[in-house]
Amino acid sequence: MQSFQDKVVAITGGGSGIGRETALAFACKGAKVSICDLNEGGGQETLRQIEALGAKGYFTRVDVRHEAEVQDWIRQTISQLGGLHSAVNNAGIDGAVAFTDEYPEESFDQVMDINVKGVWYGMKAQLAHMKNHGGGTIVNIASVAGFMSLPRLIAYVASKHAVIGMTRTAGVEYARFGIRVNAVCPSFTETPMVSHSLDYPGAVLNVEKMAQINPSKRIAQAYEIANAILYLCSDESSYINAHPLVIDGGLSVV
């Protein structure tokens, strides 16, 4: 895969999981990497790992539910690292686990604010810069849940359907500016969020059971999702736009 030498990449939710793996993968390819996260400790650790690879990094604590914070982070990224060429809108949560008629409104609103509005706020700031500076690439983190159902996770499922819709819309709108907007749609991946989503009263799934229902007989590793993100940000995918790329080991077609 091509080098990202001296390219600037901005990643939300870079403090753990897919966000961290993606940040480190870009750093290994020579990119300058800006990350934000609500978890300051996790973000600082990712920054330390970026710099240990010899790459230049930047971190700030951001709550993606607040547009002003996202806009300021992008402005600081451009100021600190010298531009913006690619962005990954990764920050997200799974929310409460409950049947639809019992689902708490507070959790529904929180999931939508982070998973949907957070992605929208990220794209707004990123697109505004890219359309006036020669284009760029954006990858949003959706899920196979954007194509199917996950019982007792109505807010999460709705949010990932929304991310796919926003990705397709923005990809079409901004192609004329040399901007490509795509999404990756992973199935269960070994991350702290997946571990958290299995830790609730009455949980019927665990990692072993999830692996068994997948045709590949395992769940994904975060680096596998990161590799796909780098591909979508590279010139090697130059004619892929407004596309939700499913990465699920074949789960969604069984």
Express each pLDDT in 109-124 by its tens digit.
Answer: 999 999 999 999 999 9
Gap between the Cα atoms of 104 and 252, Å rounded = 28
Chain mean position to CA 197 = 17
Res 82 pLDDT > 90 = yes
Beta bridge partners of 34: 10, 58
List the catalytic residues: 156
Q: Is 70 exceeded by the pLDDT of residue 206?
A: no
- Per-residue pLDDT reduced to its tens digit, 215-231: 777 878 999 999 999 99
Please enumerate in sequence order all residues whose Cβ is within 8 A of that of 37, keeping only pairs 6 or more positions apart, or say none.
12, 13, 14, 15, 16, 19, 43, 46, 59, 61, 62, 91
Above 80 in pLDDT, residue 209?
A: no
Q: If you count them, how many residues does the chain have?
A: 254
Q: Spell out the residues 6+ positions from residue 214 whose beta carbon is closer than 8 angstroms to its own.
A: 187, 188, 248, 249, 250, 251
* Structure confidence at residue 197 (pLDDT): 54
Torsion, Cα of 225, 229, 234, 237 (10° steps): 80
Region 70-93: mean pLDDT is 98
What is the rounded average pLDDT of the residues 91-111?
97
What are the boundaries of each domain within the chain? 8-187+221-247
Which of the pair, 201 or 92, is modelled with greater confidence? Answer: 92
Say how far apart CA 179 and CA 87 lie, in whole Å: 11
Helix axes 154-174 and 118-130, enclosed angle (nearest 10): 10
Confidence of residue 241 (pLDDT cuts 50, 70, 90): very high
CB-CB contact of 234 with 204 (8 Å): no
- Give the pLDDT of residue 252: 78
Could you tell me the pLDDT band of residue 2, with boundaries at 50, 70 and 90?
Answer: confident
Report yes or no: 26 and 228 within 8 Å, Cβ to Cβ.
no
Question: Residue 213 pLDDT more than 80?
Answer: no
Q: pLDDT value at position 204? A: 47
Q: What is the DSSP letter of 66?
A: -
pLDDT tens digits for 13-62?
999 999 999 999 999 999 999 999 999 999 999 999 999 999 999 999 99
pLDDT computed for residue 162 by the predictor: 98
Q: What's the average model confidence in pLDDT over 63-72?
A: 98
Q: With a cut of 90, say whether residue 181 has pLDDT above it.
A: yes
As a whole number of angstroms, the distance between CA 159 and CA 125 comes to: 20
Task: Pick 90 or 145 by higher pLDDT.
Answer: 90
CATH T-level fold of 8-187+221-247: Rossmann fold (3.40.50)
**Residue 184 above 90 pLDDT?**
yes
> Tokens 């940040």 belong to which residue?
23
* Mean pLDDT rounded to a whole number for the chain: 92
